[in-house]
């Protein structure tokens, strides 16, 4: 599979996994959210691959490191008293993704490799932001995250 085809497959697999992981009311978008902005949603955004060394010869496929960026957003109506609820909901969603990719269970699964698309994938970093704008009708939390791993392409 070519590198662009691999990037396409990685992003699609992560979207599919997130849709399975976070059922309704969470909406998972392939790319940025559009006009419709639900209370809880995830955006699976950019994909990057960087080429590594060849595997046992220059004619073979190479290892690539990949990164997929995403954003989780949670919202609840109310005043500052709902901020903890909003923030903890976002962190709970992120913890579910981290646990899904880590798959620390005893039964082997394909969670760790995005359904066999990659060699491995893990939640590698995140930044949480509690919206601090003047919002009188609710509170919002954003978590920008990265999933990184390795793939042969």
pLDDT per position as a tens digit, 21-60: 998 889 999 999 988 889 999 999 999 999 876 666 666 7
At residue 3 the predicted structure's pLDDT band, cuts being 50, 70 and 90, is confident
- C-alpha radius of gyration, the chain, whole number: 17
At residue 109 the predicted structure's pLDDT band, cuts being 50, 70 and 90, is low
Q: What is the pLDDT of residues 121-151, one digit of tens each?
A: 899 999 999 986 656 678 899 999 999 998 8
Compute the distance between CA of residue 71 and CA of residue 23 in angstroms, rounded to an integer: 16
The one-character DSSP state at 53 is: E
Compute the distance between CA of residue 131 and CA of residue 75 in angstroms, rounded to an integer: 10
| Cβ atoms 102, 120 nearer than 8 A | no
């Amino acid at each position: 599979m070519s590198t662009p085809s691999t990037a396409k497959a990685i992003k699609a697999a992560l979207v599919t996994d997130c849709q399975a992981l976070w059922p309704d009311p969470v909406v998972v978008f392939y790319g940025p959210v559009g006009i419709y902005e639900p209370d809880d949603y995830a955006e699976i955004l950019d994909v990057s691959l960087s080429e590594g060394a060849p595997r046992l010869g220059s004619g073979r496929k190479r290892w690539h490191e990949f990164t997929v960026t995403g954003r989780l957003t949670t919202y609840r109506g109310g005043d500052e008293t709902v901020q903890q609820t909003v923030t903890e909901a976002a962190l709970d969603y992120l913890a579910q993704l981290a646990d899904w990719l880590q798959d620390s269970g005893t039964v082997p699964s394909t969670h760790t490799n995005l359904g066999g698309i990659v060699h491995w994938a893990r939640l590698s970093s995140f930044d949480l932001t509690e919206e601090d704008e003047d919002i009188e009708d609710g509170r919002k939390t954003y978590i920008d995250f990265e999933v990184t791993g390795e793939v042969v392409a």
